[in-house]
Homo-oligomer: A and B are copies of this chain.
Amino acid sequence: MTAQHTPPLRWYGWGDRDTVPPPALLRLLQDELGGGGEVVSQPVPQSEVRLPDPALSDRLRRRLAATVGAANLGRGPEDRLSHATGRSYLDLLALRAGRLEEAPDAVVRPASVQEIARVLKVCSEDGCAVVPFGGGTSVVGGVAPHHAGRHALVSLALERFDAVLDVDDESLLATLQAGMRGPAVEAKLAQRGLTLGHFPQSFEYASVGGFAATRSAGQASSGFGRFDEMVRGLTLVAPHGELALRAHPPDAAGPSVLQMALGSEGTLGVITDVTVRVRPRARLRHYAAWSFADMDSGVAALRDLSLRHRVPDVTRLSDAEETRVSLAMAGDRATTRAARRYLRLRGHGGGCLAILGWEGAGSDIGTRKRLAVQVLRRHGAVALGTAPGRAWLHSRFEAPYLRDSLLDRALLVETLETASTWSRLPRVRDAVIGALRTALSRRGTPPLVGYHISHVYPEGASLYFTVLARQEDGNQVAQWLEAKRAATDAIVGAGGTLTHHHAVGLDHAPWMSAQVGAVGIDAIRALRSALDPAGIMNPGKLIPYPVSDSNR
């Protein structure tokens, strides 16, 4: 995917096309979940979607139109609908059912920092809430038009912030406007022989501003760094004023104001540009698959790679359950059958698949791969060659497309993530899987739960769970809420992070005090109060603020 102009997300789901799940996957789901074989559910026609009546006062409408131009103030149902949700499971349920409890009263599309400053001034004076909107791909309610008691709410769309402002080839820094989506960034940087190397699953639609506002991590973050490590400077326009942090190496000048802006999820202001570390484009890519006899040996290998500073740029280890589903998805290809046969012979019948990827100059890759392979072999890993690695690379943004097609088949499809120290990892994993199985089985919809590790740190790793179950007919929302609550309680109870890379949004806000404590909440609240005195920025997200906020 290198197209510079991403087609719009279709209104009720992901991408711009239908995906047909592999027949082998549907057979597996039918066998194990007792459902998912047939298409039984379709989104309502777009014309039947009901939005709440818009509540923009004439005065505010006039003032906003005067600021950005009437053409850049969207008040029609299409604009409001396309900014009414992110792409969480609950969002998709609501969209497909055509029932949206909240929507922005208008969509504002400013073109400059000055226009944003004026929009925030006007909205502060009016008491109108403002939700910064980049790619709209949040899976935690991060862009939900949650009025939280405010009489009006506008989505502030960043699509006109779509330029590369500067490239410093010598320092390998690029200043990118916040509205740029992943493919546009890579296409523009490629013209200079550079790459950003940030590839979350939402890459095709997510925006640079969203990456920064949510501390995004991508599939290659083991090698290229998390987005919050890449960002060296930024501009954030707050109602209180403009925070312009010039890019420079790390410093010792007080509490990190940069790290206050990163992860602020639109609650402090609008991130309009970021200056990020870039790299020369890889001259070579090497992606390969390996198999481990079990998860214990795989995890030990990852820890060992980390200890020796030999972690590949992409490092991804699936448990036996996820491996089984992946192989079913790879389907009936000859290579997959051969791989399965080979693994049975090597005693990896129920093994765990690892995808490892190196990117860079040819000689560097050779050396780094050789050093990593020494460690892999010590832990009993078996090489499966480059074909499955290339297949993964080719299909790495496919899951959200597939999700739509599984929703068509009345399946609950959800992903959850956390991170933990190595010593707590087994406990966190067992707690989450147990909580999901118990919660969903109790409701008569026993799930399939698999997980993978895709981000490795010296002290621990991420855990990313995929849950599949039959939808509970007529109770889809309650079913999800119970499972989500059980899993999140399990995560924080066992000492995992509240979120490793999906961020907080509305969905995780009730658990924030488990992450940072009451004093941490007060610190964040103080920042909000200073930068957004009128309390208009993305209400309800991150932490309850002001105290009158309620979470959904």
Whether A452 is near chain B, meaning CB under 8 Å from some CB there, is: no
A460-507 CB contacts (< 8 Å) to partner B: 460-462, 495-504
Whether A548 is near chain B, meaning CB under 8 Å from some CB there, is: no
A120 to chain B minimum Cβ distance, whole angstroms, is 13
Contact A232 B263 (CB under 8 A): no
- Which single member of B241, B243, B459, B501 contacts A252 (CB below 8 Å)? B501
Whether A246 is near chain B, meaning CB under 8 Å from some CB there, is: yes
**Interface residue total, chain A, C-beta cutoff 8 A:** 92
List B contacts of A448 (CB < 8 A): none
A428 to chain B minimum Cβ distance, whole angstroms, is 10
The answer to whether A247 and B459 touch (CB under 8 A), given A499-B253, A527-B255, is yes
Contact A255 B251 (CB under 8 A): no
Contact A519 B243 (CB under 8 A): yes
Stretch of A78-86, A144-152, A429-437, A508-516 that contacts chain B: A508-516
Stretch of A56-64, A68-76, A164-172, A315-323 that contacts chain B: A164-172
Docked CA distance A421–B170 (Å): 9
Chain B residue with the shortest CB-CB distance to A525: B530
Chain B residue with the shortest CB-CB distance to A461: B249
Docked CA distance A303–B253 (Å): 24
The answer to whether A250 and B226 touch (CB under 8 A), given A523-B530, A527-B527, is yes
Whether A143 is near chain B, meaning CB under 8 Å from some CB there, is: no
Contact B518 A457 (CB under 8 A): no
Whether A419 is near chain B, meaning CB under 8 Å from some CB there, is: yes
Whether A445 is near chain B, meaning CB under 8 Å from some CB there, is: no
Whether A420 is near chain B, meaning CB under 8 Å from some CB there, is: yes
Whether A262 is near chain B, meaning CB under 8 Å from some CB there, is: yes
- Which single member of B228, B249, B256, B260 contacts A250 (CB below 8 Å)? B228
Contact B523 A257 (CB under 8 A): yes
The answer to whether A249 and B462 touch (CB under 8 A), given A254-B542, A307-B280, A527-B523, is yes
Contact A173 B459 (CB under 8 A): yes
Docked CA distance A252–B519 (Å): 18
Contact A459 B245 (CB under 8 A): no
List B contacts of A330 (CB < 8 A): none
Whether A422 is near chain B, meaning CB under 8 Å from some CB there, is: yes
Chain B residue with the shortest CB-CB distance to A526: B530
Whether A291 is near chain B, meaning CB under 8 Å from some CB there, is: no
List B contacts of A526 (CB < 8 A): 526-527, 529-531
Chain B residue with the shortest CB-CB distance to A543: B254
Stretch of A6-14, A211-219, A341-349, A383-391 that contacts chain B: A211-219
Chain B residue with the shortest CB-CB distance to A269: B519
List B contacts of A280 (CB < 8 A): 307
Contact B499 A460 (CB under 8 A): no
List B contacts of A512 (CB < 8 A): 253-254
List B contacts of A242 (CB < 8 A): 517, 519
List B contacts of A171 (CB < 8 A): 421-424, 459-460
A496 to chain B minimum Cβ distance, whole angstroms, is 7
List B contacts of A367 (CB < 8 A): 367, 371
Whether A364 is near chain B, meaning CB under 8 Å from some CB there, is: yes
Whether A244 is near chain B, meaning CB under 8 Å from some CB there, is: yes
List B contacts of A420 (CB < 8 A): 248-249
Most B-side CB within 10 Å, residue of A173, A361, A525? A173
Whether A264 is near chain B, meaning CB under 8 Å from some CB there, is: yes
Contact A500 B256 (CB under 8 A): no
Docked CA distance A419–B264 (Å): 26
Contact A277 B458 (CB under 8 A): yes
Contact A256 B253 (CB under 8 A): no
Q: A215-B251, A253-B504, A254-B503 are in contact. List 7 more A-B contacts (CB 8 A).
A: A171-B424, A172-B458, A228-B256, A238-B519, A249-B455, A253-B515, A254-B504
Give residues in A with beta carbon < 8 Å to B.
Answer: 168, 170-173, 214-217, 226, 228, 232, 238, 240-257, 259-265, 268, 277, 279-280, 303, 307-309, 361, 364, 367, 371, 419-424, 455, 457-462, 495-504, 508, 512, 515-520, 522-527, 529-531, 542-543
Can you sample 18 A-B contacts with CB below 8 Å? Answer: A172-B422, A215-B252, A243-B517, A243-B520, A248-B460, A251-B515, A252-B263, A252-B501, A253-B263, A253-B508, A255-B260, A255-B261, A255-B262, A255-B524, A308-B361, A522-B531, A525-B530, A526-B529
Cβ-closest 4 pairs across A and B: A526-B530, A259-B259, A171-B421, A251-B497
